[in-house]
A and B are shown apart, each in its own frame.
Chain A
Amino acid sequence: MTWWLLTFSRGGPASYLSHLDTARAVQRTFARAGVPIALSQGMRPKPRLSLPLPLPVGAAGYEELAVVEVPDGPPSPAAALRELRAAAPPGLRPLAIVVVGDQHPRPQALEARYACRLEGDAGAVRAAVERYATEVSVVRERVSPKGRRTLDLKEYVVHVAAEPVLGGTRLSFAIRYRDDGAARPQEFIDLIAAWAEVEPVMRGLERRRVIWRDLPPGPSPGAGRSVSS
């Protein structure tokens, strides 16, 4: 078996897909392209494809990653990429394929860079960002069907910046992924909006870059046996 790391962008109408729907759309792109994916064993075989870092609904992703196991004798990555691009639905664009051995560790996200636009008083948003920088700890409670959990946003959200743009503020930040989890982009945006007393309505949330552990070197991502646009 061979593993492929496929990078792709998600934008436009595809931004509104859920994580599972994005995975299904990528899988069906492979099927339409005639590029086989290896199946799991057992009574109900499933395609061996995963997206290691879910992208929030409504967010665009510049460089998303899919880990795909292909059966023996796969097409060349260059030919596959060509076919995948032709078969991809609007908003999903395959960017590059990196071939890795089956012993290679699966990539793990370390940090992701986000940006969005917040509407309202830019000065107030900038003040909220400055306040965040000076706080030692910003603890928030997360309520989910699994229960309640507190997390300190300062441990996860870094590199925060605010830049005034027409009608609002461009807010950029990075989220660190740790063994104990991560903050969600919306949690941080809600915090800044609350401190700035602006509506927590953001436009154009983008994940611009992800830093991975155990990713082979090369262009977007990886070199070696890779094909990219």
Chain B
Amino acid sequence: MYEIGISNPGLQILYAYLNDATPAAAERAYCPWPDMAALMRAYDVPLWTLETIDPVAGCDLWGFTLPHELTYTNVLEMLDLAGVPIHAAERGEGQPIVLGGGPAVADPWPLAPFFEAFFMGEVEHRLDEIVEALAAPSRALRLQALAAVPGMWLPGVSERPAQRQVFTAFSRTPPVLRPVVPVLEAVHDRAIVEVMRGCTAGCRFCQAGMWYRPVRERPVDLVVEAAERLLAETGCDEVSLLSLSSCDYSGIEEALTRIRALRPGVRVSLPSLRIDSAAEALGGFAADQRGSVTLAPEAGTQELRDAINKGVDDAQFEEAVRATFGGGFTGLKLYFMIGLPGETDADVAGIARMAATAVRLAKEIGRGRARLSVAVSSYVPKAHTPFQLEPFAGAAVLRHRQQLLRDAMPRHVRINFHDVAASLVEATLARGGPGSDRLVEEAWRRGARFDGWSEHFHFATWEGAAAATGIELGAAELRSDETLPWESAVDAVVTRGFLADEQARASRGELTDDCRDGSCAACGVCGSGVEMDVLP
């Protein structure tokens, strides 16, 4: 799926660095849609790279970006389409070394037998070493050299967990200035400037918030220069200032002002808005950009928002909604999760009450032109988060709460739910231990592909695979006094003690301050050359 893959900014970083700064030639291949895959098999055409139309199987190294669990079967699909044995143990000299990276390697076990190695964390500063390792004269020596690269974990070979790597030079390194520009419409069809990496808001459900610590910000001059260059190089008329929480970027106002002044018609988008600062941020948008706004309260009551450390109150929510409709925006999308630890039916009813507040304000201020929608996803506990030991809510509870919401939601509000069955599979894989790979392989052999796409997700396939492998979907029996499966593969640097403390604070409904405000929560990340790096 080129339209989605080309939008991945991580891939653009790897592609640019490998081709511009190392002796390696990096080429791209994306997972073909099932109709194309069927034709490739029918005509015996192996997966090829887009640049040279060479078979992927001929590459020295095949890197996969793993964004989330429901893409796992696509990895096997691509290996098979390329004619590469899906199990690393069956691959030999002349076949690629398969390397995994990206946020989903936070628990690599469900994919462990299919990869020679996984890289944990941010790889920019380790690419030279990886390329150098590939120069070794044999496959065994290449693997041996790769194993010595910090952050690398080789299933069955590495004796210790790999330490998650942090790109400490982020702030003084320019973003990608000559990205691959798609000639067809990508899902994110705009120039991208990553302004900040990491987030210290400390939302307890958020894996990215833990995985990409600490916060590092790029200077505004670097951001504006990059935006100017990218507009010229790509021909785009829109720049996205990318980060996990762009409203938290210290230079956001100056950057917005200066980029808009670069030339007439330039639009700037922020991928996420924080409710407590949305009113200010929304005021800065140009008139022609006032379409739809997404706000993420995440939970329906103050108690639950405090428990997840979201720390947004009803007054801030109302102010953000008023700013949305009062500022001429015509659409508002509210994003919530259900199935959070400690959640009750009353918390779910709170979601409907917040939607009703938004409806009332839309009528008062938006004068009937405003559209309101609510997206509700099912919470899936993830590794390396304060909720990593919490149970998945389960399909029955989630369906019950979805129905509660349907019944309580005001009329004229469009509501979208995540498929509970897909969340069940995601929950199984997100904390899978050794052996969970059997589920992935069996599901793929039974036809599972593109499981993140509702039209291709077939729960019966996964049920059959679970029955065949004896793996219970959704179950994760984890104990705080044991080594967790992912802890044997990756040291995320955020300490187990901090996560346990945060879990305890969640149960007491206590907030933890953002550490950029000066109060260190002792998560364990800073130190040994890794520090928060924010603008003065």
A91-B184 Cα distance, complex, nearest whole Å: 13
Residues in B neighbouring A13, C-beta threshold 8 A: 183
Known: A27-B235, A31-B236, A31-B237. Contact between A45 and B185, CB under 8 A? Answer: no
Known: A43-B288, A44-B288, A45-B265. Contact between A32 and B185, CB under 8 A? Answer: no
Residues in B neighbouring A25, C-beta threshold 8 A: 183
Is B254 in contact with chain A by the CB < 8 A criterion?
Answer: no
Residue among A13, A14, A28, A89 having the largest count of chain B Cβ atoms under 10 Å: A28
B184 touches A17 (CB 8 A): yes
From A21, A29, A39, A87, B265 is in contact (CB under 8 Å) with A39
Is B181 in contact with chain A by the CB < 8 A criterion?
Answer: yes
A43-B236 Cα distance, complex, nearest whole Å: 19
Q: Which of B222-240 contact A (CB under 8 A)?
A: 231-237
Is A18 in contact with chain B by the CB < 8 A criterion?
Answer: yes
B288 touches A28 (CB 8 A): no
Residues in A neighbouring B185, C-beta threshold 8 A: 20-21, 24
A196-B234 Cα distance, complex, nearest whole Å: 47
Residues in B neighbouring A4, C-beta threshold 8 A: none
Known: A31-B237, A43-B287, A43-B288. Contact between A89 and B232, CB under 8 A? Answer: no
A124-B287 Cα distance, complex, nearest whole Å: 62
Residues in A neighbouring B231, C-beta threshold 8 A: 31
Is A34 in contact with chain B by the CB < 8 A criterion?
Answer: yes
A17 touches B232 (CB 8 A): no
Is A30 in contact with chain B by the CB < 8 A criterion?
Answer: yes
A32 touches B183 (CB 8 A): no
Looking at the assembled complex, report how far the CB atom of B359 sits from the nearest CB atom of chain A, in whole angstroms: 25
Looking at the assembled complex, report how far the CB atom of A85 sits from the nearest CB atom of chain B, in whole angstroms: 14
Residues in B neighbouring A89, C-beta threshold 8 A: 181, 183
A14-B184 Cα distance, complex, nearest whole Å: 9
A204-B236 Cα distance, complex, nearest whole Å: 31
Known: A21-B184, A21-B185, A45-B265. Contact between A32 and B288, CB under 8 A? Answer: no
B184 touches A18 (CB 8 A): yes
Looking at the assembled complex, report how far the CB atom of A14 sits from the nearest CB atom of chain B, in whole angstroms: 7
Residues in B neighbouring A44, C-beta threshold 8 A: 288
B235 touches A28 (CB 8 A): yes
Looking at the assembled complex, report how far the CB atom of A197 sits from the nearest CB atom of chain B, in whole angstroms: 21
Looking at the assembled complex, report how far the CB atom of B191 sits from the nearest CB atom of chain A, in whole angstroms: 11
B184 touches A28 (CB 8 A): no
Residues in A neighbouring B232, C-beta threshold 8 A: 32, 34
A34-B228 Cα distance, complex, nearest whole Å: 13
A32 touches B234 (CB 8 A): yes
Residue among A18, A27, A30, A32 having the largest count of chain B Cβ atoms under 10 Å: A32
A20-B185 Cα distance, complex, nearest whole Å: 9
Per-residue CB contact flags for chain A residues 88-111 toward chain B (1 = under 8 Å, else 0) read 010110000000000000000000
Known: A39-B265, A45-B265, A87-B235. Contact between A28 and B287, CB under 8 A? Answer: no
Residues in B neighbouring A34, C-beta threshold 8 A: 232
Can you list 26 residue pairs at the A/B interface with Cβ under 8 Å? A13-B183, A14-B183, A17-B183, A17-B184, A18-B184, A20-B185, A21-B184, A21-B185, A24-B185, A27-B235, A28-B181, A28-B234, A28-B235, A29-B235, A30-B235, A31-B231, A31-B235, A31-B236, A31-B237, A32-B233, A32-B235, A34-B232, A39-B265, A45-B265, A87-B235, A91-B183
Instruction: Give the B-binding residues of A (Cβ under 8 A).
Output: 13-14, 17-18, 20-21, 24-25, 27-32, 34, 39, 43-45, 87, 89, 91-92
Excluding A20-B185, A28-B234, 20 further A-B contacts by CB distance (< 8 Å) are: A13-B183, A14-B183, A17-B184, A21-B183, A24-B183, A29-B235, A31-B236, A31-B237, A32-B235, A34-B232, A39-B265, A43-B287, A43-B288, A44-B288, A45-B288, A87-B235, A89-B181, A89-B183, A91-B183, A92-B183
